[in-house]
Structure 1
Amino acid sequence: MFLDFYPIVQDVNVCLLPLEYLSALKPFKNEVPQGHHSFQLVSNAQSSQDPVGHPMMHQAAFNQATGEAQYYDDIPAVQGELFVYMVTSTRAHAKIINIDPSEALGMTGVVTFLSAGDVPGQNRRMLFNNPEELFAEEEVSCVGQIIGAVVAESREQARRAAQMVKVTYQDLLPVFFTIEEAIQHQSFFDPKRKLERGDMDKAFETVDQILEDEIYLGGQEHFYMETQGLIAVPKGENGELELFVASQHSAYTQEVVGITLGIDSNKITCHVRRLGGAFGGKVMKIASLSAITATAAVKTGRPVRCVLERGDDMLITSGRHPFLGKYKVGYNNDGTIMAADITYYSNGGCTLNESLAIMEKALLHMDNAYKIPNLRGRGLVCKTYLPSYTAFRGFGGPQGLMVMESVLHEVAVKCGLPPQKVREINMYREEECYTHYKQLFSPRDMLRCWDECLDKAGYHDRLQAIQQFNTSNRWKKRGISAVPMKFGVGFSKGFFNQGAALVNIYKDGSVLVAHGGTEMGQGINTKALQIASRILKVPMSSIHIKETCTGNVPNAAPSAASFGTDAVGMAVKDACEKLMRRLKPFMENHPKYTWQQWIFEAYCQKVSLSATGFFMGPHTDMDWENSEGPAYYYFTFGACCSEVEIDCLTGDHKNLRTDIVMDVGRSLNPAIDIGQIEGGFVQGIGGSDDQGSVPVQDSCPL
């Protein structure tokens, strides 16, 4: 058809076309993105030696730019090192009849094959009251489920041998992959969640209009630059084991490895220098990979390296949950929403993993910035035959508030009102407001972000210009939209809201800081250095952070929930303040001494120059039976305005301009915080463009 159409197009006289049709001939131009940043300056009264609040470069930026920064797979080969490669299921739902590794074991370089029978401890463990298998034993529930692992002298030998392991299956029914199919089969994980306030039935009886609709949000791949993996090194004494691992939650990795091997955590040391991106994807799944690799190391008595190839990483670890939101909304003709009944369905995959916590966060964020007097949210995690979905930046929050934003937009269209006006009509306004789960907060800063965003974006003037553009162009159209945001910070499971640190001062005056957070590009180490520099009153160049290590800081919480710097920063502050209290007598007695002299004097007087710091965060919890509880430490707010242009013929589109205003409190480092905001926005564009994985070829995600 194209060959028939192309000559016709060539013969068209452009001069005869209406002017509004000519935009079809203009492709989008690729331009270098440009940005303008503004942030709050520190007070003039602040000491010039105090780095907190100043826009400072990421402390590892030069090393990362030059390639000198070391990630786990940059670590030189350990003597006698082997490689492990996973053998995964090729069936979505099947009984395992037989596993035959004989051909693989006969190949050059292959050392051994691992399966469930080789696990010295527990192959099955409970995760959030649901069973998780390290190696599938009797049945597989998705393509990509790990059945075994080949250990060989080289990566390529391990990879080739894994392909030769023969697994005999007996296919089982049912097999389904989508949320809609799961609803038909009533396939859901327990428990189901619900939040409710107000009288829904009465509200629907009194409103002017009722709207019912749904919105689907596809999944999204993490696509971190560094794939998941680790090096497991047996120490050869007392069962000790060291792991150099790419994990956001090293303490959990340590725990799972201990359960798998049947040994205590005090014999397992996890080292995390830095991650090459994570976005939530390296919290849970890496623990299972670590346990398999550790099992290989213990069985062979040699170091074992695991590095997932990109395709295997995407298949085994999965990504952001697809969501389906179905809603019934009651509203008045002036755009005021009086009632909203929303049911959220997420595709959890074949195991629960973190899906329940993600669904809970979606429900907790369903109100976003809006005071809906009668609001009900129900959350159901669908059990399907896909690899288990896991945490991703925002952790359910984006899906939760996206449904509400769709509701606001549809109500605006039905009422014939500007969407921005309908949003403003329904926003929280009082100085003291309560969420739909009865947590008190003030929307003052949220409203400030909203007003400032509209003003800086020139929203109203640009809206008129866009309307004129659309009138003059038949095949290119522009649109502009602004949305507010209210986002809870911290873990709703209160025991995670804690942080720990260790600060050592050496006789030469240099300082070593260790903490339980994980550096994955977000700048947590840089901010920890700034905090230590402020409290100790020494330059950042005198302070060093080496790595995250379970041997230095035990039982650390995951670096997640936008809470890492809060917890770790306060712990570093606590440790440094302890040291300064010990040093205070020497500083007062010898005011003219240098820092090094104070330190040496304290050492000579047998004063400890090492201190642990701890931050016990606030109590947070949710009573799901009564729809109430302090779910978050606090809220952060923001607003975003974007203008886009689309090609109506091809579907091509371009983001022309975006204005973002964020309330981050008092920024420790505006340069890093702005980078995080920009990075989150760009990743959000990917999510909104629906990077959903589509099951093909017996459910292998594409």
Structure 2
Amino acid sequence: MSETEDIRGGVHKSTQHDSAIKHVVGDAVFIDDMPNLPETQEVALLLSPHAHANILSIDTSKAEACTGVAAVITANDIPGVNDIAPVFSDEPVLAGALVEYAGQPIAAIAADNYDNAFAAIGTIKVIYEELPAVLSIQEAWDKGQFTYEPPKIESGDAEKAIKDADFVVNGEISCGGQDHFYLESQIALAIPGEGPDILIYSSTQHPTEVQHGVSRVLGINQNDVTVEVRRMGGAFGGKESQSTIVGAIASLLAYKCRKPVKLRLRRDEDMTATGKRHDFLFKYKVGFNSTGKIEGAIIDMAARSGNVADLSAGVIGRALCHGDNAYFIPHTLFRGWPCKTNTVSNTAFRGFGSPQGMLAIETIIEHLAVELKMPVEKIRSVNWYGTDDKNVTPYGQTVSDNIMPEIVDRLASEVDLPSRRKAIDKYNASHETLKKGIAMMPVKFGISFNAPALNQAGALVHVYTDGSVH
């Protein structure tokens, strides 16, 4: 670099994203775009057709003899521990004696191409003993089936406050989940090295978790596992813990056949075998006065955790911490219910429980507005968090920078919300089928993790002798 040449990315310099042009013109290299190494094997999975069943036997002998097959694995072939749980334990990468959701991976085959692997999967014989399946949140809740100890947040005496209140409402609401539908499906390329070393190219948001999971199932040290992530074709939470499943299966096969192994889930497999956003069922009881001020609230938040806990503790924890949204509620009892169902374990998704928690309290605010025949904005305004008082959340945090009342009023004024509403009312009055609407929604969003130890990060920065930085 010459003395007159500017350093790329210097302080106070505008810098283009490294991959901006590559993404636009299609030159960005994702894992499936990487040229295959010699003898790279591709993978097909055997997924359970049953939501709940005992596995009585698995016969892979015909599959092992199929054309092009390099390795076949079941839970019995795992040299380490069949557990990739990110928080708790006992969350298998391959089903052992028990299947707990339709789509759960049972076996995997690596072959010289995907067609041969897929054909060999069809020759595996599994004998199941079907068991009753719990498929709904309500059924699991009624039976007391949970993936971990149900949490709660309690402040004051909600039962007494509701009993003493002028008015009381009860209600319930549910919300569904969504698939992440990232453009690049789950994928990993595992390359065995010398001795126990293994290199994994993974489309993951959490390379450390992939490293930990792979070391656990292979029974090797974490420093034997290297995980590289150049870029992802979308994730939205879906590749935080779920990518460990894919990385672990690819690694197990690579270890067994001592060849590079690539596992790319086809879209239908990806949507069947991996988790989604948690769907919730909320039930509430709220006491309030004639102005709409909430005196006490009990909110039960039952979430579909799925067959295992995965990241449900964090998701439900954040839902509980957003059950107040932007409102001061002096007496609260928020209870979380991580319902264990025979469905795929739900996982991280943008918002991580916060949207669900806010949905519950905003439903309550609108319910109160209907009961009192008052504008919803009026109900919100009498319940806002304060600045000098009424500023402590149910979980004990002081709201120190509250600009919600000011920003809501300012936004409504600047966009002339009353006039817009009148125009919409006029439009709707003259149209039978097509209707319009407008809403303004406050959001108090926690940007940190509930576990303080997670609120940190590190970076390794290389500054070279020519002044360039990597």
Fold match by TM threshold 0.5: yes
Alignment partner of 1:390 out of 347, 368, 393: 347
* 2:61 matches 1:102: yes
Among 310, 334, 346, the alignment partner of 2:267 is 310
1:224 to 182, 185, 195: 182
1:484 aligns with 2:442: yes
Q: Is residue 2:153 matched to residue 1:195?
A: yes
Query: How many Å separate the matches in 2 of 1:307 and 1:238?
Result: 26
Query: 1-side partners of 2:213 and 2:153: how far apart?
Result: 33
Q: What's the offset of the Cα at 1:129? A: 3.4
Map of 1:509 onto structure 2: 467
Letter in 2 for 1:473: H
1:339 aligns with 2:296: yes
Q: Paired residue for 1:184?
A: 142
Distance 1:127 1:507, change over 3 A: closer
Q: 1 CA distance for matches of 2:420 and 2:413?
A: 11
Measured in 2, the distance between the counterparts of 1:452 and 1:163 equals 63
Secondary structure, aligned partner of 2:403: helix
Matches within 5 A, 1:559-638: none
> Over residues 253-295 of structure 1, what are the superposed CA-to-partner deviations in whole Å (9 max), with x where a residue is unaligned?
1111111111111111111001111111111111122111111
Q: Show the counterpart of 1:62.
A: 21
C-alpha distance in 1, partners of 2:275/2:84?
A: 20
Alpha-carbon separation, structure 2, partners of 1:201 and 1:290: 48
Is 2:164 the counterpart of 1:206? yes
1:364 aligns with 2:330: no
- The answer on whether the counterparts of 2:141 and 2:337 sit within 8 Å (CA) in structure 1 is no
1:230-245 matched pairs, under 5 angstroms: 230-235=188-193, 237-245=194-202
Say if 2:46 and 2:107, in contact at 8 Å, map to a contact too. Answer: yes
- Does residue 1:164 correspond to 2:84, yes or no? no
2:270 is aligned with 1:270: no
The answer to whether 1:259 aligns with 2:210 is no
Q: Secondary structure at the match of 2:18?
A: coil
User: Secondary structure, in 3 states, of the residue corresponding to 1:104?
Assistant: helix
SS of the residue 2:308 aligns to: coil
Report 1:530-549 matches (<5 A).
Answer: none
Q: Determine the structure 1 residue equivalent to 2:332.
A: 375
Contact persistence 2:381–2:405 (CA under 8 A): no
| Matching of residues 387-426 of structure 1 within 5 Å | 387-426=344-383
User: Aligned residue for 2:3?
Assistant: none
Could you tell me how far 1:306 is from its partner in structure 2?
A: 0.6
Find the counterpart in structure 2 of residue 117 from structure 1.
76
Shift of residue 483, structure 1, vs aligned partner = 1.0
Q: 2:395 aligns with which of 416, 425, 437?
A: 437
How far is 1:49 from its partner? 7.5
Distance 2:355 2:215 in 1: 35
1:287 matched residue in structure 2: 244
Q: Aligned partners of 2:238 and 2:75: how far apart in 1? A: 25
Aligned residue type for 1:101: T
2:416 alignment partner, one of 447, 458, 462: 458
Deviates more, 1:470-479 or 1:495-504: 470-479
The letter for the 1-side match of 2:312 is S
State TM-score, norm by structure 2.
0.94
SS at match of 2:302: strand
Contact 1:429-1:443 at 8 Å conserved across structures: no
CA pair 49-102 structure 1, distance change in 2 beyond 3 A? closer
- Equivalent pair of 1:141/1:385 in contact (CA under 8 Å): yes
Q: Distance in 1 between matches of 2:161 and 2:414?
A: 38
Q: Within 1, Cα distance between the matches of 2:135 and 2:100?
A: 11
TM-aligned CA deviation for residue 467 of structure 1: 2.0
CA-atom RMSD, angstroms?
Answer: 1.8
**2:275 corresponds to which letter in structure 1?**
S
1:74 is matched with 33
Aligned-partner Cα distance in 2 for 1:49–1:120: 49
Give 2:412's aligned amino acid: L
SS at match of 1:478: coil
Is 1:345–1:381's contact at 8 Å kept on the other side of the alignment? Answer: yes
2:431 pairs, out of 451, 466, 473, with 473
TM superposition shift of 1:85? 1.6
What is aligned with 1:321?
278
Paired letter, 1:365: H
Q: Is the 8 A contact 1:189 1:380 kept in 2?
A: no
Q: How far has the Cα of 1:168 moved from its partner?
A: 1.0
1:50 offset after TM fit, Å? 4.8
Q: Deviations over 1:178-198 (max 9, x none)?
A: 112212322223211111112
Q: Which amino acid aligns with 1:475?
A: T
How many equivalent residue pairs?
461
More helix by share: 1
> How far apart are the structure 1 equivalents of 2:249 and 2:47?
13
Give yes or no for contact 2:200–2:225 (8 Å, CA) kept in 1: yes
AA aligned to 1:73 is D
Q: 2:439 is paired with a residue of what secondary structure?
A: strand
The corresponding residue for 1:615 is none
Q: Distance in 2 between matches of 1:444 and 1:219?
A: 31
Mapped partners of 2:135, 2:62: distance in 1: 33
**Maintained 8 Å contact 1:431/1:444:** no
Larger Rg: 1
Judging by fraction of residues, say which structure has more strand.
1
Q: Distance in 2 between matches of 1:453 and 1:108?
A: 66
Instruction: Determine the structure 2 residue equivalent to 1:132.
Output: 91
Check the 8 A contact 1:114/1:150 in 2, yes or no. Answer: yes
Q: 1:428–1:443: 8 Å Cα contact kept in structure 2?
A: no
Per-residue CA deviations over 1:466-487 (Å, capped at 9, x if unaligned) read: 2222322333332221111111
Equivalent residue letter for 2:292: G
Deviations 1:284-339 (A, max 9, x none): 11112211111111111100001000111111112001101100111122221211
Please give the residue correspondences for 1:81-92 in structure 2 after superposition, counting only pairs within 5 Å: 81-92=40-51
For the residues of structure 1 that align with 2:310 and 2:208, how far apart are their CA atoms?
17
Q: Aligned-pair distance for 1:57?
A: 5.0
Q: Structure 1 residues 476, 278: CA separation in 2 closer, same or farther (over 3 Å shift)? A: same
- Give me the whole-angstrom Cα distance separating, in 2, the residues matched to 1:482 and 1:321: 25
Counterpart position of 2:5? none
Q: Which amino acid aligns with 1:141?
A: E
Residues 431 and 443, structure 1, Cα contact 8 Å, conserved in 2: no
Give the C-alpha shift of residue 95 in structure 1: 0.8
Structure 1: how far apart are the matches of 2:10 and 2:223? Answer: 40
User: 1:27-66: CA deviations, max 9, x gaps?
Assistant: xxxxxxxxxxxxxxxxxxxxx98547x7x65332111011
For structure 2, list consecutive stretches of 5 or more residues without a partner in the other structure: 1-8
SS of alignment partner, residue 292 of structure 1: helix
2:182 alignment partner, SS class: coil
